[in-house]
Amino acid sequence: MSTPESTDASAHTASPSAQTGPQAESSQPPNGPELTLWAPDRSYVRVDWSRAGGDGVETTQGVGDMQPKGDGWWRWQAPDLAADDRLDYAFRLDGGPALPDPRSAWQPHGVDGRSRWFDAAAYSWHDATWAGPQQGEGVLGAVFYELHVGTFTPEGTLDAAQRRLGHLVELGVDVVELMPVASFAGRWNWGYDGVGPWSVHDAYEGPAALQRFVDACHQVGLGVCLDVVYNHLGPAGNYLPTFGPYFSDRHPTPWGPGLNLDGDGSFHVRRWIVDSALRWFADFHLDALRLDAVHELHDDSDQHVLAQLSDEVGALAARLGRPLALVAESDLNQPRMVAPTADGGRGMDAQWDDDVHHALHVTLTGETQGYYRDFAGDSRAMPDGGPLAVLAKVLTGAFLHDGSWSSFRGSDWGAPVDREHTDGRRFLAYLQNHDQVGNRAVGDRISATIPLSRQAVGATLYLTSAFTPMVFMGEEWGASTPFQFFTDFEDPELGKAVTEGRRSEFADHGWDAADVPDPQDEQTMRRSQLDWAEPHEGEHARLLTYYRDLIALRRKEFELGDGRLDLVDVQFDDKDGWLVMRRGSVATVVNLTHSRWTVPLDGTPREVLLAWDPEQTKIRPNGLHLPPGTAAVVRLGST
């Protein structure tokens, strides 16, 4: 796992470029930075470059011949640079067109333009005493908060997001999870069409802004997790195949050929991924990376690239003296994803758990279309129970599909979690996230479907569960703004294809094309920006207060922070519509009916610790009387 104590620092050696790429310089050499490039099977490589002063006025330009270093690597020594000089450059392979650096940190001229050299060591950090999230305990059990930089604020920049950190601190957040910031084509994008995984999008204010953001977070006690996408590149501005065998037809993905992780040249492709991850931690002081859809990183090598990454990140954590974490998005429902590499696992510290989301969503909304069907129960996956039986299973065992039949996938799926030995905090639980909102036809949040009181039921369950909780931006006040799928491709044919493809996809599910927002319309993005007046208004303010109190209660009550799944007990009645999740002496009690109900308890309720409607929540002998569609957390005594 990726903690300072757990990996061998000598597990792997760095590639020729690991510390010599233009974005990995630890300090500026006397005669300018050295640029390096992996481009095997090329006869010659040239660098088109220009130098400008701090005022942006170009002073020098030229063309340089790169020198071969062996094993497909090339190098070029840049001219002297003053402290505020800007060096823009592009590579020409065998006299071809000028191309951006595959390891570019900054693309101020767009994804098709020249790269800009970035000296990561130039920034003066103020986080020397930062020990890591939760005072150095790491991310397990921490409260995550997922946000999209472009829609979190009206300005849509990292500096603007930095000005809202006070809201996150007051909410009780431990780790801010940034959706991808990699460079993409156009002015805005919902996040997963990036083509520069080493870079920070210029409209977000570039790589220096990310350093400022992380530094500011650490100064107020917040860790930072960055969502990175290594399984594919977007449809515009992807030049990787021109440089070398980065992709392979042997492993197709939903986006086309997969990354070449186990064929000829794969050593350097793997280093392109691993070196990028190490650089985010070392040069940008990040605390965690969220790895997008790792089930599409197909790798038949003796050591899977995820295990390699885990070992190398662990070694770096040991050198830095602070915990570093890898959080996987995985569709596989395989506990080995979070098992140590020494035990044959992938070594991820944690993974997203969509089964928890699906069970909560079906229970609260009643939706059963598509992949939600199995989570309604009375199916091959759960033949002897309804939605509350499914919810009880995932709250105690993480997965519904743990070797059982998955109707959506058309096969048996997953494997069971060892409840006694697997820490529940290795699974992230959530009521909403970017996928589960943005992949809906109109990007509607759960608060657009159910009352805020019922949303509070879902929040109570996952925020008092044995899992690591994650809040999606705006969820905490029941934001009325959607989070829709949006793009800004400049190529009219590509833009048209994206719009038509999106509408066709949902037409198959009964949607009228006119009702599906056009991803290419600027207003689709504008509608997705949070309204920061709402948290102070009416029921929005009430829900925000409830989320704050829930998170504070989770932090206060030791038993709520315990990841022991075998100590979680869930009682329920699908017919009568109630559920009780007990964590030691603390119980979360839920009434999902449309009438008042006294929920039976296995123990004497002593105290109501928190309730959505405290005035109408009453302690009864061996039970708790709850208003319809509400939840409460109580302390129990012995029976």
Q: Is 329 a catalytic residue?
A: yes
Q: Is 509 exposed, middle or buried (0-12, 13-18, 19+ CB in 10 A)?
A: exposed
Catalytically annotated residue among 25, 177, 329, 423:
329
Please tell me the predicted confidence (pLDDT) of residue 514: 87
Q: State both tokens at 241.
A: 């195949």
The total of other beta-carbon atoms located within 10 Å of residue 409's CB is 13
Q: How far apart are CA 416 and CA 398, in angstroms?
A: 9
- HSE toward the beta carbon, residue 492, CA cutoff 13 A: 0
- pLDDT tens for 227-250 read 999 999 999 999 999 999 999 999
Partners of 256 in beta bridges: 253
Q: What is the largest CA-CA distance in the chain?
A: 84
Identify which of 462, 422, 427 has the alpha carbon closest to the alpha carbon of residue 566: 422
Q: Is residue 290 part of an annotated ligand binding site?
A: yes
Domain total of the chain: 2
Please tell me the predicted confidence (pLDDT) of residue 639: 56
Quickly state the pLDDT bin for 15 (edges 50, 70, 90): very low
Q: Within a domain: residue 379?
A: yes
Are residues 92 and 195 both part of a single domain?
no
Q: Is residue 285 part of an annotated ligand binding site?
A: no
Domain-terminating residue out of 92, 122, 152: 122
Q: Within a domain: residue 205?
A: yes
Q: State both tokens at 253.
A: 């993905």
Domain-terminating residue out of 539, 555, 589: 539
Q: Is residue 189 part of an annotated ligand binding site?
A: no
Burial per residue of 130-169, b for 16 or more beta-carbon CB atoms within 10 angstroms, e otherwise = bebbbeeebbbbbbbbbbbbbbbbeebbbebbbeebeebe
Q: Is residue 436 part of an annotated ligand binding site?
A: yes
Q: Is residue 571 part of an annotated ligand binding site?
A: no
Mean pLDDT, range 484-491, rounded to an integer: 97
Find the CATH number of the domain harbouring 104: 2.60.40.10
Q: Is residue 292 part of an annotated ligand binding site?
A: yes
**pLDDT of 615 strictly over 60:** yes
Are residues 327 and 414 both part of a single domain?
yes
Are residues 157 and 112 both part of a single domain?
no
- The mean of the pLDDT values for the chain is 93
Output DSSP code: residue 179.
Answer: P
- pLDDT tens for 126-150 read 999 999 999 999 999 999 999 999 9
Are residues 299 and 155 both part of a single domain?
yes
Are residues 361 and 411 both part of a single domain?
yes
Mean pLDDT, range 275-292, rounded to an integer: 98
Q: Where are the beta strands (DSSP E) in 407-565?
A: 411-413, 427-429, 468-472
Q: Is residue 437 part of an annotated ligand binding site?
A: yes
Please tell me the predicted confidence (pLDDT) of residue 508: 76
Q: Within a domain: residue 594?
A: no
Question: 3-state class of 362 per DSSP?
Answer: helix
Question: 3-state class of 561 per DSSP?
Answer: helix
Q: State both tokens at 13.
A: 């050696």
Please tell me the predicted confidence (pLDDT) of residue 1: 52
Q: Within a domain: residue 631?
A: no
**What residue type is assigned to position 488 of the chain?**
D
Task: Determine what percent of the chain is predicted with pLDDT higher than 70.
Answer: 95
- pLDDT tens for 532-582 read 999 999 999 999 999 999 999 999 999 999 999 999 999 999 999 999 999
**pLDDT of 7 strictly over 50:** no
Are residues 313 and 217 both part of a single domain?
yes
Packing angle of the helix pair 452-463, 354-365 (nearest 10 deg):
150
DSSP of 395-433: HHHS-S-SSEEETTTTEEE-----TTTSBGGGEEE-S--
Question: 3-state class of 269 per DSSP?
Answer: helix
Q: Is 515 a catalytic residue?
A: no
Q: State both tokens at 236.
A: 């515009």
The distance of Cα 97 from the centroid of its chain, to the nearest Å, equals 35
CA distances from 102 to 13, 37, 39, 309 (A): 21, 8, 10, 19
Quickly state the pLDDT bin for 81 (edges 50, 70, 90): confident
CA distances from 356 to 359, 372, 401, 415, 429 (A): 5, 11, 11, 15, 6
Task: Determine what percent of the chain is predicted with pLDDT higher than 90.
Answer: 90
Q: Is 123 exposed, middle or buried (0-12, 13-18, 19+ CB in 10 A)?
A: middle
Are residues 368 and 483 both part of a single domain?
yes
Catalytically annotated residue among 283, 292, 312, 353:
292
Identify which of 115, 61, 52 has the alpha carbon closest to the alpha carbon of residue 89: 115
The H or E element that residue 504 is part of is helix 492-507
In this structure, are residues 575 and 594 in contact, taking their beta carbons and an 8 Å threshold? no
**pLDDT of 28 strictly over 90:** no
Torsions phi, psi for 535 (to 5 deg): -60, -15
Packing angle of the helix pair 354-365, 387-397 (nearest 10 deg):
150
CA distances from 40 to 96, 100, 210, 238 (A): 15, 16, 32, 18
Q: Is residue 554 part of an annotated ligand binding site?
A: no
Are residues 327 and 431 both part of a single domain?
yes
Are residues 176 and 38 both part of a single domain?
no
pTM of the predicted model over 0.75? yes
Are residues 55 and 189 both part of a single domain?
no
Q: Within a domain: residue 621?
A: no
In this structure, are residues 624 and 634 in contact, taking their beta carbons and an 8 Å threshold? yes
Are residues 107 and 172 both part of a single domain?
no
Find the CATH number of the domain harbouring 375: 3.20.20.80
**CA dihedral angle for residue 318, residue 319, residue 323, residue 326, rounded to 10 degrees:** -90
Domain-terminating residue out of 539, 571, 601: 539
Q: Within a domain: residue 521?
A: yes
Q: Within a domain: residue 342?
A: yes
- pLDDT tens for 295-334 read 999 999 999 999 999 999 999 999 999 999 999 999 999 9
Q: Is residue 438 part of an annotated ligand binding site?
A: yes
State the residue for tokens 């001229």: 109
Q: Within a domain: residue 510?
A: yes
Are residues 355 and 401 both part of a single domain?
yes
**pLDDT of 22 strictly over 50:** no
Q: State both tokens at 624.
A: 């708790």
Enclosing domain of residue 405: 142-539
More confident site: 412 or 1: 412
**pLDDT of 10 strictly over 80:** no
- pLDDT tens for 590-610 read 999 999 999 999 999 999 999
Express the helix, strand and coil content of the chain in percent, nearest 5 each: 30, 25, 45
